[in-house]
Amino acid sequence: MCAKIKVIVNDLKKTQGEKVKFQNVLVGSGKSADEIKKAKLKGHGLVGNDKDGKVVDKIDGHAYGKKEVEAVVAKLLKK
């Protein structure tokens, strides 16, 4: 996760961390390739999975900011 998005996610973790599990995953580590494929991302980005692992929302690449990340979190909170 790029530094800009990591800061945004870490800030949201402080306020929403009890309701939503946040995880920074480095592309190429663990099962990241499987998650990228499952979310149909081109290479990297943000994936919002529900508690059962189903993709609720995704954002390709890293051309997004706090507003877009907050929108994904809002969708997860509705689940």
Residue indicated by tokens 């890293």: 62
Which amino acid is present at 2? Answer: C
pLDDT at 1: 55
DSSP 17: T
Q: What is the pLDDT of residues 3-59, one digit of tens each?
A: 778 889 899 999 999 999 988 888 888 888 888 899 999 888 899 999 899 999 999
Whether residue 78 is predicted with pLDDT greater than 70 in this model: the reply is yes
Which amino acid is present at 25? Answer: V
pTM: 0.82
